[in-house]
Amino acid sequence: MATPYSARPRKRTAHACDACRVRKSRCDGRQPCSWCTENEVECLYGQQQQPLGANQGKSDKILETVLRMDGLLRSIHENLSDQQQQNLQQRAVTSPRFSDPSSPDNSDFAKVANATIPSTHISATEDLLISPIAAPYPSLRAQFRPIFLLESRCPAIPYQPRSIRPVFTTSEAERLLNSFQRNVNFWYPTVSKATLQNLFERVRNGFVENTCEDCAALLVMALGAASELVQLVHSSTKSHGFESRQHQSELMTMASVCYDEAMKLLNVAYMEISTISTQCVFLAAIYCSFLQRPLQTWGHLNTAATKCRALLAYGTGSGNIEDDECIRRIFWSCYIIESDLISELSHLPQSGVAEVESEVPLPGPLQTHFTEAETESSALYFLSCISIRRLLNRVHHLLYAEDKYKNYTNATDESLRGLISELDRQLVLWHETLPEFLRFEENTRDCVNEHAAFLRQRYLACKSVIYRPYVEIVLKHREIPHSAETIDAASRCLKASCDHIANLRSFSQTVMIDTWICALSMTSTMFIILVALQIPSLRPRLLEHNIPEFGPHLRDLLNAWIGVMPQKSPSIQQSVRLIAEIEALIGQSR
């Protein structure tokens, strides 16, 4: 029986080198490419300046945007010495005042080329709830427990030892593999079509070997069942009948059985250093995200990231270009997910992917789906997620590093204004260059698809944290009048926060991967709204939004997301309780 997995992948380059662009000839996408090697020409990517014309590919536009963002920050750093000699009155508002003692020093700013989150950043929900801003709300502090402590005391993931591995019919295997493709491998396109063909054969043969390939096949089936379960439970057209509940139970059992069997083989993947073993550990991290286990996710990610760094440094040794590209994509996937975890769990040891991210090439050509269109869409979405996560990391680095953050106490601080202006400009640039199918409006209108809607959530979260320092400055200095410019900047944070909550839905990627990070993020967002309501100059801006609906909306979503889990995440349950308490406090303040 012919299946989509039997078709051979078609090689295609999404980004040509500069020399091949000028010659308008086909480039194989290698580094260096074949033509440059044969002709002894320096092979560069992203250096040639081109207008964004009709002949430029969508992936080129995204890559060009990422490179331009890096260039903006590098150019600022290169001009530091000149800026320090200029007269203060002649400096533009958008240029950070690096000679100011309260500004980041030159060496720190140079590190921003690597978009890292400082290990002691001051931006997590935990930081807000233990800060002086929360002092007027003892009921919140009384209910709050450290997140790491809660998660570290969580019982182990249930494990059922079995002597027989799962058996799938061809149609069942195809269905679950297609679900994996549509969801997990679209968000994090790390498994090539050729690899999926091999894993499909492993499933059909019944996992007869104790190899990394069998482990990967089991994890793909587990994630396929999990993603199908998420879509079934949270679909707008879902049925609540007996058959639907029975199907949900079957999918959860199927996912659990495959995961349990994969865990028996994961020690093989941990001991081996190869592309397929790295994929196994990364997929295990993704499944732990589905189980809403942040510390277990972090543990697997660290191992996967370490393997990536080793294979990037020494090569995969397989002679297969696809293997090299898969490792790069796993590296960037680890970068995104680890950054999400670190943003809420400060002080958690990092794998080091962020420290070297500027040295690792961005994702290149890899056939991951059955059609060229779907492969390209997935690659563009992945690049968009990478670039917004890099920008978020820069925001944390420049605005919330502990040693810098305490210096930003004055809304007239020119260095603060300059940094926020530049970061906002980069966010606007990112938004403007999104491909058409990922475009969204900065309002509460429905997006064209879930992928655009998810990116809008990232955009609003980024905008909120960019402008949050102004809200905190107003809160810390309530006794003095603030300029209209300061109030307007603080209002941008609050509007983005309100829109973030109002736009939140049961997006498949949010439920499957980001439930934990979303729960923490929404708690801090609700808290910012609560404290801002106490400020007369900010209160009118907030009352333009339907704030009384925010608490019930968030609690309904979070309770639904944790409802299918056999064990509930204690920190997510705490977030639900805190949101309910914040909702009550908001009601009292109105």
- Half-sphere CA count of 194, side-chain side, radius 13 A: 13
HSE value, Cβ hemisphere, 13 Å, CA-based, for 164: 3
The pLDDT assigned to 76 comes to 44
- Residue 519's contacts (CB-CB under 8 Å, 6 or more residues apart) are 558, 569, 571, 572, 575, 576
| Chain centroid to CA 434 | 16
Reduced to 3 states, what is the DSSP secondary structure of residue 401?
strand
Alpha-carbon distance of 282 to 277, in angstroms, equals 9
Residues 6+ away with beta carbon under 8 Å from 191:
185, 199, 216, 220, 279, 326, 368
pLDDT tens digits for 195-221?
999 999 999 888 878 899 999 999 999
Over residues 547-566, the pLDDT tens digits come to 999 999 999 999 999 998 98
Token reading at 255: 């996912």
Measured between alpha carbons, how far is 28 from 7 in angstroms, rounded to an integer?
21
**pLDDT by residue (tens digit) across 234-244?**
875 555 565 67
Which amino acid makes up residue 126? E
pLDDT greater than 90 at residue 327: yes
pTM over 0.85: no
Task: Tell me the pLDDT band of 319, cut-offs 50, 70 and 90.
Answer: confident
Which residue would you say has higher pLDDT here, 153 or 46? Answer: 153
Distance CA 63, CA 537 (A): 41
The pLDDT value recorded for residue 270 is: 95
Q: Which residue has the higher pLDDT, 31 or 565?
A: 565
Are 83 and 98 in contact by the 8 Å Cβ rule? The answer is: yes
Give the pLDDT confidence score for residue 173 in this predicted structure.
93
Helices 242-271, 212-234: crossing angle, 10 deg rounding: 150
Taking residues 394-417, what's their average pLDDT? 73
C-alpha–C-alpha distance, residues 323 and 191, integer Å: 10
pLDDT single digits (tens) 249-262: 899 999 999 999 99
What pLDDT was estimated at residue 50?
43
pLDDT tens-digit profile of 83-98?
A: 444 433 333 333 232 2
The confidence band for 410, taking pLDDT boundaries of 50, 70 and 90, is low
Query: What confidence score (pLDDT) does residue 273 get?
Result: 93
How much of the chain exceeds pLDDT 90, in percent?
54
Lowest mean pLDDT among 49-58, 127-136, 224-233: 49-58
| 40, pLDDT greater than 90 | no
Dihedral sign computed on CA atoms, order 305, 306, 311, 312: positive
Give the per-residue pLDDT at 538: 92
Digit-coded pLDDT (tens) for 1-24: 456 665 544 444 446 777 777 665
Does 318 have pLDDT greater than 80? no
Per the prediction, the chain carries an average pLDDT of 83
Tell me what pLDDT residue 243 has: 63
* pLDDT over threshold 70, residue 444: yes
* pLDDT value of position 5: 61
Q: Is the pLDDT of residue 73 over 90?
A: no
Percent of the chain exceeding pLDDT 70 equals 80
Token representation of residue 289: 């995200």
At residue 472, the pLDDT reads 87
